[in-house]
Structure 1
Amino acid sequence: MSRFPFRIVAGGALAVVALGSVAGAYAITHGLTGLLGGQPSAAQIIDRFEAVSGKHAGFRRNHAKGVCVTGYFDSNGNAAPLSRASVFAAGRSQVVGRLSIGGGNPAQADGASNVRSLALRILTPGGSEWRTAMNSAPIFPVRTPEALFEMLAASRQARETTTYGSDEGMDGFMKAHPETVRFEQWLHDHPPSSAFGNAAYYSVSAFRLIDRDGHAQNVRWRVEPDDAYVPLADAQKQDSDFLERGLAERLQQGPLRWHMVITLAQPGDVSNDSTRLWPANRTQIDVGTLVVQREEAQIDGPCRDISFDPLTLPDGIAPSDDPLLKARSAAYAESHERRVSEERRYAAHQ
């Protein structure tokens, strides 16, 4: 599993993916968050992920455990009137992706996470590139980078000071950030999937599609699986690696397919708050099919060195005013630089 012959010790707390599973002491203080005001830097955010899950050389600081996938995206042309991006013209684009679970420990059990993630790098025949990182929950626990930083602090202290059965820490965090209730409720109402291939994945943040006349439309997207959703079984909770093994077994039967669906915002729908869903009656457009044909271990697979920066966007797709997008982009770059540097240092000593 590891890119280096280091011993991996299982354990650690999940930082983002399961608020209800984190308990312990929590206080909003300058000493705890490490901030005296303003937005945390990418380095501070990644330091905090490392404080939660430990340092695992050569691995991503979040979503450390995953598997590479390859395939293609067949656009049906339905989004072409909304966006001048060539990826939405009718035709096929090549895909390199990564399926993963949340958390920074690459040895954690699959059953410890109740959110799956799908990241894609889509390359059109003309050379344009679109990267998107999606989660199996359509919303995020917090709205701002500052709140994320505080949540990571709560997770760190939970790991260090938890008394078994205590919920005081997360209760305190949720009292200070009531928006997290929506995320926890969604997880409660939607048990995790039994496989990577039967989960839907969501952009979470809003983006803007730009047409040939320069008109902008706020959207979110998701990919809906052709395979029927099946909830996680009790027996799987004791299986540390059922997701990657199940993916390989499923692909022996044939490719996996998801339909990409774009949801159009209406005036008044917030674009700067990833903790809020848009109303269910918004227009939705099926814009094409994602097909996954092959999986490969991330140790040497084609996704290994890709940073799935959500702001790597082609002409015709633009970021919204969601404050998490710039923070995510910077944190992905910081995580990528750290693991690449670790690989260089390791290679230099061989």
Structure 2
Amino acid sequence: MVDTSVAKQLVQAIIDNLPAPVGPRRPVHTIGIGVKGEFVASNVARNYCIAEQFQGQPVPASVRFSNGLGGPDQHDGWSDVRGMATRFHISDGKGSDLIATTLGEFFVRNVDDFFKFTEIAKLAPYSRLSWWQKLCDLVKLKVPDRDPYLNETENVNAGALRYANQHRFAQLGVFQAAVIGAPVSYARASYHAVHTFWVTAPNGVRRPVRFSWQPVAGVCNTDPMAVPQDKYLFKELDERLKKWPARFMLMMTIGEAGDAIDDCTKPWPGTRLRISMGTLTLLKVSEDQEADGERISFNPNRLAPGIEPSADPILEARLGAYEASREIRGGCPFKWSKVDAG
């Protein structure tokens, strides 16, 4: 586990890059909404993993959807990474968490990379490119910077792109984030856990896997050329769930020899075997957002027996950083150890 001082430095580095103070709230994915749901495993899930949530019985779930940018402003229509944090309420009382975003891969490999990223990826004044600058970028086969949104004065992408130009491993994740767009609904985006985990089957076989949530309604984004809306995602989700439940399929991709196990910046080949592990049904927006969203301290290392973290250094760093963030914002306490994480 990353020591406490480093974990606090990681969180502070994020806070220092925020466009505005967030007070006692999450420094990133600040704006979010809590939803109640239920997960039911597929008939084959138990053959691949002994974790309680994959044994076939209905498992209550708490889900928090969020916008990726830190800060108190919602900016629903902005091109931005979205988050989906899920807690499976299993019988041990602690639960098992799965944290995913619309980003398919991460942009740094380890803690040192992250600190270097925060040094370079500073917020900068947003300047509008002239038509000839955009044309020059297109000639160079580069995607030109978009025009700033209304009231957008600071560029959140320029520094990240500068970092990616200097570090090849960051290019896939940073480029995805720069052009990711905005979903028409939190229920119509795909979410990826990015890290590798080890799952244990009933026969004792351990497999490296990566998880993702796929929306049954299909993926759909807003028109990137249109003027972005603000504050529509919460209302859309509430109205959607009042009419009918929304569903996600949990997909588990099984890694093979040669795949990157401990590096979340590297994708796996699209030919890998994928198993449908079950269906998450979103039932309603929670009436108590404080208890069912803001005070839940999700952590990607809170795992049921049968699922273990890989040696991915970013995954390990998130163990301490999420707890440091929890202490700052007064979330529900959960003391971590390597034993608890297993």
Residue 293 of structure 1: aligned partner: 283
Residue 300 of structure 2: aligned partner: 310
Distance 1:81 1:152, change over 3 A: same
Q: Distance in 2 between matches of 1:168 and 1:50?
A: 18
Equivalences for 1:209-228 in 2 at 5 Å? Answer: 209-228=199-218
Q: In terms of mean alpha carbon deviation, does 182-191 or 86-95 score higher?
A: 182-191
1:245 equivalenced with 2:235 (yes/no): yes
**Does the CA-based 8 Å contact 2:77-2:182 persist in structure 1?**
no
Residue 115 of structure 1: aligned partner: 81
Residue 140 of structure 2: aligned partner: none
Residue 43 of structure 1: aligned partner: 8
1:132 equivalenced with 2:98 (yes/no): yes
1:271 equivalenced with 2:261 (yes/no): yes
Equivalences for 1:21-170 in 2 at 5 Å? Answer: 41-53=6-18, 54-125=20-91, 127=93, 129-156=95-122, 158-159=123-124, 169-170=159-160
**Does the CA-based 8 Å contact 1:40-1:149 persist in structure 2?**
no
1:194 aligned residue (177, 184, 197): 184
Report the alpha carbon displacement of residue 47 of structure 1 after superposing the two structures with TM: 0.9
Q: In terms of mean alpha carbon deviation, does 251-260 or 296-305 score higher?
A: 296-305
**Does the CA-based 8 Å contact 1:102-1:117 persist in structure 2?**
yes
**Which AA in structure 2 matches 1:104?**
G
State the SS of the aligned residue for 1:289: strand
Distance 1:150 1:126, change over 3 A: closer
State the SS of the aligned residue for 1:217: strand
Q: In terms of mean alpha carbon deviation, does 215-224 or 73-82 score higher?
A: 73-82
Deviations 1:191-236 (A, max 9, x none): 4422101011111111000123432100001111111222213587
Deviations 1:61-110 (A, max 9, x none): 11000000111101124121222111111111010110001122022412
Deviations 1:235-275 (A, max 9, x none): 87532211111111211221110111111111111111111
**Does the CA-based 8 Å contact 1:139-1:204 persist in structure 2?**
yes
Residue 206 of structure 1: aligned partner: 196
Residue 142 of structure 2: aligned partner: none
Distance 1:50 1:315, change over 3 A: same
**Which AA in structure 1 matches 2:231?**
D
Distance 1:300 1:77, change over 3 A: same
Q: In terms of mean alpha carbon deviation, does 100-109 or 188-197 score higher?
A: 188-197
**Does the CA-based 8 Å contact 2:87-2:97 persist in structure 1?**
yes
Q: In terms of mean alpha carbon deviation, does 247-256 or 179-188 score higher?
A: 179-188
**Does the CA-based 8 Å contact 1:115-1:136 persist in structure 2?**
yes
Percent of aligned positions with the same letter in both sequences?
Answer: 25
Q: Distance in 2 between matches of 1:168 and 1:200?
A: 25
**Does the CA-based 8 Å contact 1:219-1:265 persist in structure 2?**
yes
Give me the CA root mean square deviation. Answer: 2.6
**Does the CA-based 8 Å contact 1:111-1:236 persist in structure 2?**
no
Report the alpha carbon displacement of residue 129 of structure 1 after superposing the two structures with TM: 2.1
Given the two structures, how large is their TM-score scaled by the length of structure 1? 0.79
State the SS of the aligned residue for 1:251: helix
**Does the CA-based 8 Å contact 1:92-1:124 persist in structure 2?**
no
Q: Distance in 1 between matches of 2:160 and 2:293?
A: 34
**Does the CA-based 8 Å contact 2:210-2:253 persist in structure 1?**
yes
Q: Which runs of 5+ in 2 are unaligned?
A: 130-144, 146-156, 332-342
Q: Which runs of 5+ in 1 are unaligned?
A: 1-37, 342-350
Deviations 1:117-166 (A, max 9, x none): 1001101356562101101122111211222222222233x33x666659
